A and B are shown apart, each in its own frame.
Chain A
Amino acid sequence: MIALRAVKKTFAERTVLAGVSLAVEPGEIVTITGPSGAGKSTLLRCINGLAGFDEGEIVVGPHTIRPSADPLRAAAAARTLLGMVFQDFQLFPHLTARANVAEAPIHVRGVERRAALARADELLASVGLAGHGDAYPRTLSGGQKQRVAIARALAMEPEALLCDEVTSALDDEAQSEVLDVLARLAADGMTLVLVTHQRSVVERLAAREVVLRDGALGAR
């Protein structure tokens, strides 16, 4: 599903990724752990083009991403297969939960508005937020916000979900709410790549763990 081949990246004369290779099979759950500042988030962001790299290649399904001055464009095709969830949610504050979820289907895919909103309600229900469609992000708790963010990513029907420290900003209860949702997605066959520094995430999802240290991957 996702394969990194000898991906190198230097930033300000510092080696961030020193030839990283990693293969993620369809339906597999992989966590990337390691000391902070090791480049875990950067690695994840290279996969969907939010960050660029200097050498090597990244394959997502049938699409190959090569080093580019415009990484966002280079990864555009790959991105259609990938959803992403962030540590700080990044919900759109001026839109309701339902509109957050329906925004991209309506405006990127051209899905008819009413159908997209109905689908958004289904997705919100699937993450345990039935009846919260009219709520604005500011009125939701952290755990609720992160579950809206997951629903928003799912709305574009990705084959894999990239999760960047998605439970780090949450209290214990909210963490388990979010992990429950992710576990259910995994059970349904979703490919998950998670960057985390929390052991609980690795254990709860029974994930394969790779460790990024000094820009290189190794087993634990």
Chain B
Amino acid sequence: MRRLLPLLTLLTLLTWVGGAQAKLRWGADAEGGAPYVFHDPDDPKKVIGFEVDLARELGRVLGEPVEFVQYEYASLLVGLDRGDLDLAMNGLEVTPDRAGKARLSHPYYTYRLQLVARADDPACTSLAMCAGPIATLGDTAAERLLDARALAKKVYEGQVEPYRDLGLRRVGAVLLDLPIAEYYARRDPLLRFVDDPSLPKGHYAIAMRKADEALAQRIDRAIDQLASEGALRKVLERWGLWNADQETKLEVGKETDTRWTFRRWFPLLLSGALTTVLLSVASMALAVLLALPLAAARTFGPRPLRALATAYVELFRGVPVLLVLFFLYYGLPTLGVRLSAWAAAVIGFGLNYAAYEAEIYRAALGAVPTGQWEAAASLGMSRALTFRRIVLPQAVRVALPPMTSDFVALFKDTSLVSVIAVVELTKQYQILAKSSLRYLEIGLATAALYLAISLPLGLLSRRLEARWSRGHA
């Protein structure tokens, strides 16, 4: 009996582990994901949505619970490969790219792209007639359609912001899947639906690992059963998503196959790099401009001015720049100030980095010995003249190396601006990698581009440091 005990424990453990695996882990992104999967506004701990209902129905038919796992939308297929998920169901459109990477189930929904314009903009009667950039989400059929028709686009990460920016006249129209438009735009009196028959339709399907063919076939059968039972229709009707499209069978994979060759993605990556460089340079220029009076106020100013400058520095060093960007871009319009994404980005980074630069300048001014002030004073030089001719040139030499490394840091930090829909290098990488699923090669190219700019800067910084440290012997 005593010998049997470990064995029994092991068996219990095995069945327990087996039991845990029997649950199907379904990945989706509930962050701003209505009406697919989203947090219930009345009970934020609960996720609701038509795909939640569908998952429950699937679990019922399969006889296995389907468990929701919060997963970033862009990474769903990666999550399958990593083994974090068994199923990915989150409005994933059937595309040749996806079909090549994952096993896609039978479709469970037929979507169409819905164009939404402002109610007071009668000129926008079809996609081609809308003025200004068209807002959409990254890595969607809508984005690819805009690319295919060579229309100016603005790519967002969330579903709320495109319609919001449409109301604020930052974009000319929004092109997204009908369920999103139904949920976010239908009841907005400022917006109207535009009927454009040229817009294509497509399918949503569940993605699984190609190796999980057995599971895939069970899922296919379950979807077919839900469709024939009428349970699928009930779910869609509950969410106001049932329409005539659902009754007609479309051909799968009708979307044009776009091959992601190097010649196609690299120029896009380069344009992202250019945005990054321009953004960094403009932000740094603003930061330097603001930092000089700040440092002067902190070093030479009267007490109240010094306190103000100190408060500024502490505020912007203590608040994440991401928050500043959100505030400037999404918060300020409430107060009637509408900044473009570019202006918000440059101002946000400029304000933030000014705090760091001011501290560098303050330290650099402090590094010039008092004896220099005294020597200049003994020669009859005024304080202002001494500052300009004697102290400043020395302080600049102390400040330049750390400024250069700050610039490199800023250069990398600019990747944060994707949250306000500026497409720079990192964001361009995400978009391209997601669309082509070539995370590795495009990732390496992106890193190479970053290094191609930051390495020479770092080298320059060390050179300056070495050269000028000799000047202070």
Please list the residues of chain A having a beta carbon within 8 angstroms of any beta carbon in chain B. Answer: 48-50, 72, 76, 79-80, 82-84, 86, 88, 90-94, 103-104, 107-108, 136, 138, 152-153, 156, 162
Known: A92-B390, A93-B471, A136-B471. A79 touches B380 (CB 8 A): yes
- Does chain A have a CB within 8 A of B470? yes
Q: Are A92 and B372 in contact (CB under 8 A)?
A: yes
CA distance A205 to B287 in the complex (A): 56
- Does chain A have a CB within 8 A of B394? yes
Contact with A along B373-416 (1 / 0, CB 8 A): 01111111100010001100110010000000000000000000
Determine the residue in chain B with the shortest Cβ distance to A85.
Answer: B378
4 closest A-B pairs by CB: A90-B375, A104-B379, A84-B378, A138-B473
Q: Are B389 and A50 in contact (CB under 8 A)?
A: no
Known: A50-B374, A107-B385. A94 touches B393 (CB 8 A): yes
Out of A83, A91, A93, A136, which one reaches B378, CB within 8 Å? A83
Q: Are B389 and A103 in contact (CB under 8 A)?
A: yes
User: Shortest Cβ distance from B431 into chain A, in angstroms?
Assistant: 48
Which residues of B lie under 8 Å from residue A88 when comparing CB positions?
371
Out of A76, A94, A162, which one reaches B471, CB within 8 Å? A94
Q: Are A138 and B470 in contact (CB under 8 A)?
A: yes
Q: Are B378 and A108 in contact (CB under 8 A)?
A: no
CA distance A84 to B374 in the complex (A): 10
Which residues of A lie under 8 Å from residue B82 when comparing CB positions?
none
Q: Are A107 and B371 in contact (CB under 8 A)?
A: no
Determine the residue in chain B with the shortest Cβ distance to A90.
Answer: B375
CA distance A122 to B374 in the complex (A): 25
Q: Are B379 and A153 in contact (CB under 8 A)?
A: yes
User: Shortest Cβ distance from B111 into chain A, in angstroms?
Assistant: 67
- Does chain A have a CB within 8 A of B472? yes
Known: A86-B371, A90-B372, A90-B374. A108 touches B473 (CB 8 A): no
Known: A90-B371, A90-B372, A93-B472. A108 touches B377 (CB 8 A): no
Which residues of B lie under 8 Å from residue A76 when comparing CB positions?
380
**Residue with the highest number of chain A CB atoms closer than 10 Å, among B380, B393, B473:** B380
Within 8 A of A (CB), among B331-389: 369, 371-372, 374-381, 385, 389
Out of B376, B380, B389, B393, which one reaches A80, CB within 8 Å? B380
Q: Are A82 and B378 in contact (CB under 8 A)?
A: yes
CA distance A80 to B381 in the complex (A): 10
Known: A88-B371, A94-B397, A103-B389. A72 touches B377 (CB 8 A): yes
Which residues of B lie under 8 Å from residue A162 when comparing CB positions?
378
Q: Are A152 and B379 in contact (CB under 8 A)?
A: yes
Which residues of B lie under 8 Å from residue A49 when comparing CB positions?
377
Q: Are A107 and B473 in contact (CB under 8 A)?
A: no
Q: Are A86 and B379 in contact (CB under 8 A)?
A: no
User: Shortest Cβ distance from B365 into chain A, in angstroms?
Assistant: 14
Other contacts beyond A90-B374, A153-B379: 13, CB < 8 A: A50-B374, A84-B375, A84-B378, A92-B394, A94-B393, A103-B381, A107-B381, A107-B385, A136-B471, A138-B470, A138-B471, A156-B379, A162-B378
Q: Are B378 and A153 in contact (CB under 8 A)?
A: yes
CA distance A145 to B470 in the complex (A): 16
Which residues of B lie under 8 Å from residue A93 when comparing CB positions?
394, 471-473
Q: Are B381 and A108 in contact (CB under 8 A)?
A: yes
10 A-B residue pairs with Cβ-Cβ distance under 8 Å, sorted by A, are A50-B378, A72-B377, A83-B378, A84-B375, A86-B374, A90-B371, A90-B374, A94-B394, A104-B381, A138-B473
CA distance A153 to B394 in the complex (A): 21
Out of B380, B390, B472, which one reaches A156, CB within 8 Å? B380
User: Shortest Cβ distance from A78 into chain B, in angstroms?
Assistant: 11
Which residues of B lie under 8 Å from residue A138 when comparing CB positions?
470-473
CA distance A138 to B372 in the complex (A): 15
Known: A92-B372, A93-B471, A94-B471. A50 touches B377 (CB 8 A): yes
Q: Are A104 and B393 in contact (CB under 8 A)?
A: no
Determine the residue in chain A with the shortest Cβ distance to B378.
Answer: A84
CA distance A82 to B380 in the complex (A): 9
CA distance A76 to B374 in the complex (A): 13
Which residues of B lie under 8 Å from residue A107 when comparing CB positions?
381, 385, 389
CA distance A157 to B394 in the complex (A): 27
Q: Are A103 and B379 in contact (CB under 8 A)?
A: yes
Out of A91, A94, A108, A152, which one reaches B385, CB within 8 Å? A108
User: Shortest Cβ distance from B376 into chain A, in angstroms?
Assistant: 8
Determine the residue in chain B with the shortest Cβ distance to A138.
Answer: B473
CA distance A104 to B374 in the complex (A): 13
CA distance A72 to B372 in the complex (A): 15
Determine the residue in chain B with the shortest Cβ distance to A80.
Answer: B380
Which residues of B lie under 8 Å from residue A136 when comparing CB positions?
471
CA distance A49 to B378 in the complex (A): 8
Which residues of B lie under 8 Å from residue A50 when comparing CB positions?
374, 377-378
Contact with A along B74-111 (1 / 0, CB 8 A): 00000000000000000000000000000000000000
CA distance A178 to B376 in the complex (A): 21
CA distance A108 to B394 in the complex (A): 20
